[in-house]
Each structure stands twice: as structure tokens, then as C-alpha cells.
A and B are shown apart, each in its own frame.
Chain A
Amino acid sequence: MDLEYTAEYQVYREEVRRFLSDWPRVGQEANREGVEAEALFRERGIEAGFVYRNVPAAYGGAGQEPDALKDAIVRDEFYAAGAPGDLTSQGAGLLVPTLLEFGTEAQKKRFIPKAISDQEKWCQGYSEPGSGSDLASLQCRARLDGEAYILSGQKIWTSNAFEADWMFGLFRTDPDASKHAGITYLLVDMKSEGIEVRPLKGMTGGMEFNEVFFDEVSVPAENVVGRPGEGWGVSRATLVHERNLIANPNMMRDTFNDLLDLARRTVLEGRPAIEDRKVRQRLVEIEGYVRTSETSTMRQFTAQVRGEPLKAMRPMMMAKLYSTDAMQMIQGCAYDLLGADGMLAPAPEDIAGWARNSTTTGWVEAYMFSLGPAIAGGASNIQLNIIGERGYGLPRDPRPPTS
């Protein structure tokens, strides 16, 4: 055990910091705004070898030698600087790693460059009205007709479908095969004829997710990722990436620090709430979970770097649930500190996520929003099944008799 970085990595960190000292306003980005400035900076980050380190240069990435320590240094430094690094969008964060593992050469060339530059936005078509936790029961059909699949059915809870150019999703290609075997992973052009997107209003008032309807939508057979009928296995790889994105200890520590700020600002019986013993007790108790999450992530990281992931198998299975539980504890404490202000509705800018954890109503929005990650990517009850069954060898849930 040694938490110091060796000289090689300290030098690397300095290089990253030097590069980041340009952010946010140097060169041509200074004259641009928002997303455009970020895109330009991200391009420079790729050229410098820091952004998309693990995406080969042929597909628009930096194509660096794999090095998990350098990945971590880049991630932490970019995060601390608030600089635009690897996108964690559905395209860059979920589809790209999946294509790198399962995609054809043509798919990689066609889709990865535009996904990582955000020129093409992606959405994930997994859940259906009748298939949530029991995802493998999905019914949305893809029927092979010559050189194309014809899609009919419905997807739901599809985040960002309204603005997405493409969807990666799971479709039933063989209704006669067993539940998990008849599923195929397809890439669908959202501009195709026969697709209808209907927005769903979330409980916070936000419009981030949608229903997507398919009416005889034609998708070229070359858009299958992996082999037909093997989409379930392909999707499991994506899911691992999704859970890793959800369990982000940097974000948890930031949110906890925001909570401390709230406790300093909030007045309780004439003094800052943070001086109240009950509040302090609760804050330290929550910090126990935050610190556990941080250190356990370090342990999992080292196990991966050493090539011994089995040694941290249980904490890896627990990471998503541990993190969403802790985030909800933080938000629950914040909500209590708001007192009567907790009755206020979030303003439009809160709903867009810009004021999360800063303004009063931003905290109200965040309190509700913290339920989202607990549901997405495998709800908490499903995580408990995974921990119990795969982590501790407890029996699987009984299956109802098949008719």
C-alpha cells in the first residue's frame, strides 16, 4: 500500500495541470460560448493525449497506451478544474465502450468519432412498459426482412430521445428462442420513418425522458452489434459502464461539500446549523459513508490495475447501490435543513440542473432527482438480488411456473 504516485506519474499530473491552466479562456475557445468552447477544448485535449485516451486514433480518440493510473489522474484533474474531458453521455460513455468491444470495423469508423465529439447524440432503448427490472422479457420486435430489420413496438424511460440522432437498443428478433437468447442489439437512426417520440414529464418537472414508438421502422442488418440473438450479452457490457458512471465518488464528495455549505448558511435557533450538535452528528455519520465509498473505490481501482479484479468482486457489485444510498442520505439531510422552504417548487433553471445543490429550490430538485440514479441502470431491489445471489451465494428468486 502506497498512496504516493511515483515520479513518472507526478510528472504526468503536472503535464495535465499545465494543459488545464489554459481552461477556460485561452486561444480560440475564449471567443466562443458554452458547448462550442467546450468542444474546441476537448479537441485540443485529444491532440494533447488526455481526452479519450483509450479510444484509438483511427476513431478520433487520443489512442494512448492503456494506463489506468493515467486515466485516474486525468479524470481527477479535469474534474477539479471543471474542464471538458471525456463526455459521459450515453453515446460516449455507454455506446463507445460497447462498440470498441463488440462493434465491426465499419461500425467503429462510422459511429465512434461523431459520438465522442457529440456531433451525434445517442439514447438508450432498453426499458419497455412491461419490461423494467425484468428487462429480458422485452417484446419490441425486430423482424428480419431481406437486408433489413423491421421494428415495431415501444420503448420507455428513454432519456434524451427527443434530441437524440441515434438509439442503441435491444429488440426481440426471435420470439421462439428462450427469453435471453432471442434478443439483438441494434443501432437505430432516430430520423427513420415510423419513429415517434413522446416526452414524459418527470416528477421534478423536467422533461428528460420519453416514450419511443416504432411503427414498421426499417434498420439495415449491418447495424447489428455483436451477433443476432446475442444482444443480451452485449448489453451487459454496456450496463457495467452505466453503473460505473453512476458510482462517481468525486461527485459524491462535491455534493457532501455542498451540503456542508448549506449547513453553514442555514440558521437554526439563531446560529448556523453546522454548530448544532445533532446536525454535526448526522453530517459525520453521512461522511462515514462518503469516505467508505471513496476508499472502497480506491480498493477496487487497485484490484483492477493489478489485474486481480476478483479480489474486489463484492465491493464492485455493491458500488452502485452504496453510492445511490449515500447520495440519498446527503439529499435527505439537505432537505431537512431547508425546513419550510422544502415546500417550494423548483424553478426552470433548477429543473435544468444548473442550480442543483446551490439555491434553495435547487436543493428541492436535487432531493427528488437523487431517486433517478437509484432506479436507472438496475433499481436498488435488483442490486440487492445481485449482491445476495452472486456475492453471497444466496438462492435465486423462485420463477413462476411457465405456462
Chain B
Amino acid sequence: MDFGLSEEQELLQSTVRGFVENECPAGRLRELFDAGTGHDDALWTGLVEMGLAGLTIPEEYGGAGMEILDLALVCEVLGTGGVPSPFLGHVLASLALDMGGSPAQKSRWLPGLADGSRRATWALCEAGSGWEPETWHCRWAGDSISGTKLYVPHADGADLLVVGVEGGRLAVVDTAGAGVRIENLEGIDRSRPVFRVDFEGAPCELLADDPAVARRLRDAGLVLLAADAFGAASHLIDLAVEYAKTREQFGQKIAQFQAVKHQLARLALDIEPTRALFWHAAYAVDHLPEEAERAAALAKAHITDRGLEAARAVVELHGGLGFTWECDVQMGFKRLMFDRAFLGNPESLRDRCAALAGW
């Protein structure tokens, strides 16, 4: 019975944290955010060199063979730094190929994804916030698909798309093939742009016909979003604490006012304990199959809900400055808007939690 990180996991986090602080400090982040491509070759190369692109890909395919918890720990750090990176879509698409691919498919795709020479992402959502397998209408016939996917993260730079299709199945599409059209949806979170992808008879390969794969993939995604949101919200609270310690009004630091101090303490109280909530949800997806679905939904609903609420308070704590584009708070705020909406908002996830409990 041990509910803490291993030395390796702590090292993983401190290594990635060091990289983010050095390579994506506030000034650089600002440039990338304003450019809005959500991508930087040097940053991506750095993550790949640390072995993060293939973190959960089995060693036989060139990856590190680690677990969802390890991915979540990386996502926490990327959320803290607000790092523009195709990491989320790439690792989840890799997970889909690993879980649902045939040995031949894995040998063909996974090594390139692990060494970062190819990039992947996943395309699940359809019109009407349809994230769930039951709501996928993308048609597949033989070896091609037709239909429209929305909110596909980093689709512009992806070589491969893992696409949810009718019947709750997953298909893999090479974006270099015919019948794929990608359009930028101009998303709010400029660190992770989202796209509309239209398929018109696009050549595809289906993954295994196993509904458990799509579900497990979704649960892993929920955990990673919860971890990202935890990191983003924690960072915003740190920004607010620093601001309150330096900003002076009425002749003193505003942190000296108990109204401000207590508001900050309340924000921290809402967020800091939830670190254990996403750890546990990640552990459940890795090791407790009966609990995983509910734990992942509960953690994502709770952390993104509390996180975005905290973000709004942090804007207010910064006063007029907090409302400006120039203030760094807006970047974390928008990160949390993405985390909250992607893969289902808290309300829909709570509906699922209630149903899963048999209430």
C-alpha cells in the first residue's frame, strides 16, 4: 500500500519541468501563444529527445513502456507551463494504436510515433458535442471513411489520424492520402489549436473491433485532461500569490489584506488536494478496471470545474491587468477552457458518474 510517486516519476517530472522552464519561459510562451500555431519544432524535438513521444509505447516498438500515470505526470507539467505542443493528441493516438492495432499495424506505425519522426492525433467529436462512441456517425465502407470530425487537436501537423467511426470503432487515416480536408476552427486555446476534418472516401485501416479500446482510450484522455487542468490551475494560483505579494494598494501589499489572503487560500484549498484525485484516477485506468471509467470521469469533471472557477477568480485578483491580453493569466485561463470542454463538460461527465453508480 503506497500512494505516492516513485523516484523515477519524481525525476521524470523534475526533468520535464526543467526543460519547460528553460525552453518555454514566459517570454517564449507569449511569442508562441501570439503566433497561435500551437507548435514549435524545438520544443517538440526536446520532448521527443526526452522520450516523451513514446512514453507508453512498448519498448519493442521503440517506446518507454510506461503507464497512464506517467503520462499524466507529464501532462501536469505541460499544463503548468501552458506548453504549446501536440503532445496530448499524439500520445492518445499512440495509445489507440497500441491497444487496438494488429502486430503488423503496430510494427508499421508505432516506431515512427515513438521516435517522433511521425506525428499523430485523434479525431472523436462530431456535431452536437458527440464525444461518445455511440454518437459517432462517420461512415466507413471497406477501407475508406466519409464524414466530419470537429475539435481535432493539432490536426494540421499530424501524419496520422485515429478517427472514431460508426459502430464505436476506430480507424486510422494517413493525412497524406486523398479525401482529407483540414480547416482551422480558430480555437480559444492558442497552445492547442483545434481543427475540423472532412473525410470524403478517405482511405483508412480499421483497428480491432473492441469497444473496450475506445472506452479505455477515452478514460485515459479524461485523466490527462484532469492532470493538465491541475497543472494549469496550480500555476494560475502561483501567479496570483506572487502578484498579491508584490502589488501595493492603500500603502501595503494587497496580500496583507485578509480578504485577499483568504481568497487565495480558498483557491489553493480547492485545487491542491485534487492532485491526489488525478493520481488515483490514473492509477485506476492503469490497474483498477472496474473503477477506471467512473474515477476518470469524476476527476476530470471535478478538477476542470474547480480549475476554471479558480482561473476566473485569479483574473479578478489581478484587477484590470488580469483582463488584458498582455497578462499571462489569460493563457492558463484558456488552457482550462479547453480542458473543461474537451471530451465532455463536467455536467455530462457527472451524468455518466451517476448512471455508472446505478443511482
- Which A residues are within 8 Å of any B CB, using their own CB? 1-6, 9, 69, 72, 260, 263, 274-275, 277, 280-281, 283-285, 287-289, 291-293, 295-296, 298-299, 301-303, 305-306, 308, 311, 314-315, 318, 321-322, 325, 381, 384-385, 387-389, 391-395, 397-398
Shortest CB distance A189–B (Å): 41
Are B287 and A387 interface neighbours, CB within 8 A? no
Chain A residues whose CB sits within 8 angstroms of the CB of B306 once the complex forms? 288
Are A393 and B245 interface neighbours, CB within 8 A? yes
B223 at interface by CB-CB < 8 Å: no
B283 at interface by CB-CB < 8 Å: yes
Are A299 and B298 interface neighbours, CB within 8 A? no
Q: Which of A292, A301, A306, A385 makes the CB contact (< 8 A) with B277?
A: A292
Chain B residues whose CB sits within 8 angstroms of the CB of A381 once the complex forms? 262
Shortest CB distance B17–A (Å): 15
Are A322 and B269 interface neighbours, CB within 8 A? yes
Residues of B266-324 at the interface with A, using a CB-CB cut-off of 8 Å, are 266, 268-269, 272-277, 279-280, 283, 287-288, 295, 298-299, 301-302, 305-306
Not counting A1-B5, A4-B1, a sample of 18 additional A-B residue pairs whose C-beta atoms are within 8 angstroms of each other reads A1-B283, A283-B354, A285-B301, A285-B350, A288-B277, A288-B306, A291-B295, A292-B274, A299-B275, A302-B4, A305-B2, A315-B273, A315-B275, A325-B269, A388-B261, A388-B262, A391-B265, A392-B268
Residues of B52-75 at the interface with A, using a CB-CB cut-off of 8 Å, are 69
**In the A-B complex, the 9 residue pairs with the closest CB atoms:** A288-B302, A295-B276, A284-B350, A280-B354, A388-B265, A296-B273, A298-B3, A387-B265, A302-B4
Chain B residues whose CB sits within 8 angstroms of the CB of A283 once the complex forms? 354, 359
Q: Mark B1-22, 1 if CB is under 8 A from A, else 0.
A: 1111110000000000000000
Are A296 and B276 interface neighbours, CB within 8 A? yes
Chain B residues whose CB sits within 8 angstroms of the CB of A395 once the complex forms? 245, 253, 255-256, 261
B353 at interface by CB-CB < 8 Å: yes
- A389 to B1: give the CA distance in the assembly, Å: 33
Chain B residues whose CB sits within 8 angstroms of the CB of A301 once the complex forms? 3
Q: Can you pick out 30 interface pairs between chain A and chain B where the beta carbons lie within 8 Å of each other?
A: A1-B6, A2-B1, A3-B288, A6-B1, A280-B351, A283-B359, A285-B302, A285-B350, A288-B301, A288-B302, A289-B302, A296-B274, A296-B276, A296-B277, A298-B3, A299-B4, A302-B3, A303-B4, A311-B4, A315-B272, A315-B273, A315-B276, A385-B258, A388-B261, A391-B265, A391-B268, A392-B265, A392-B268, A394-B245, A394-B264
Q: Which of chain B's residues has its CB closest to A314's CB?
A: B272
- A67 to B196: give the CA distance in the assembly, Å: 57
- A314 to B273: give the CA distance in the assembly, Å: 8
Question: Which DSSP category, helix, strand, loop or mixed, fits chain A's interface?
Answer: helix
Are A387 and B277 interface neighbours, CB within 8 A? no
- A395 to B256: give the CA distance in the assembly, Å: 6
B239 at interface by CB-CB < 8 Å: no
B165 at interface by CB-CB < 8 Å: no
Q: Which of chain A's residues has its CB closest to B261's CB?
A: A388
Chain A residues whose CB sits within 8 angstroms of the CB of B353 once the complex forms? 284, 287
Are B273 and A281 interface neighbours, CB within 8 A? no
For the complex, count residues of B whose C-beta is within 8 A of A. 46
B347 at interface by CB-CB < 8 Å: yes
Which of B274, B275, B359 is most buried by chain A, counting CB atoms within 10 A of its CB?
Answer: B359
Q: Which of A72, A284, A306 makes the CB contact (< 8 A) with B298?
A: A284
Decide yes or no: A394 and B4 within 8 Å by CB, A283-B354, A298-B280, A315-B276 being known contacts.
no
- A292 to B269: give the CA distance in the assembly, Å: 11
- Which B residues are within 8 Å of any A CB, using their own CB? 1-6, 69, 241, 244-245, 253, 255-256, 258, 261-262, 264-266, 268-269, 272-277, 279-280, 283, 287-288, 295, 298-299, 301-302, 305-306, 346-347, 350-351, 353-354, 359
Q: Which of chain A's residues has its CB closest to B5's CB?
A: A1
Chain A residues whose CB sits within 8 angstroms of the CB of B253 once the complex forms? 395
Which of A275, A285, A318 is most buried by chain B, counting CB atoms within 10 A of its CB?
Answer: A285
Shortest CB distance A5–B (Å): 5
Shortest CB distance A14–B (Å): 15
Chain A residues whose CB sits within 8 angstroms of the CB of B280 once the complex forms? 291, 295, 298
- A33 to B351: give the CA distance in the assembly, Å: 46
Q: Which of B262, B269, B301 makes the CB contact (< 8 A) with A284?
A: B301
Chain B residues whose CB sits within 8 angstroms of the CB of A322 once the complex forms? 269, 273
Chain A residues whose CB sits within 8 angstroms of the CB of B288 once the complex forms? 3
Are A394 and B255 interface neighbours, CB within 8 A? yes
Are B276 and A321 interface neighbours, CB within 8 A? no
Shortest CB distance A316–B (Å): 10
Q: Which of B255, B262, B272, B279 makes the CB contact (< 8 A) with A384?
A: B262
Are B1 and A5 interface neighbours, CB within 8 A? yes
Shortest CB distance B311–A (Å): 17
Are A3 and B1 interface neighbours, CB within 8 A? yes
- A1 to B68: give the CA distance in the assembly, Å: 12
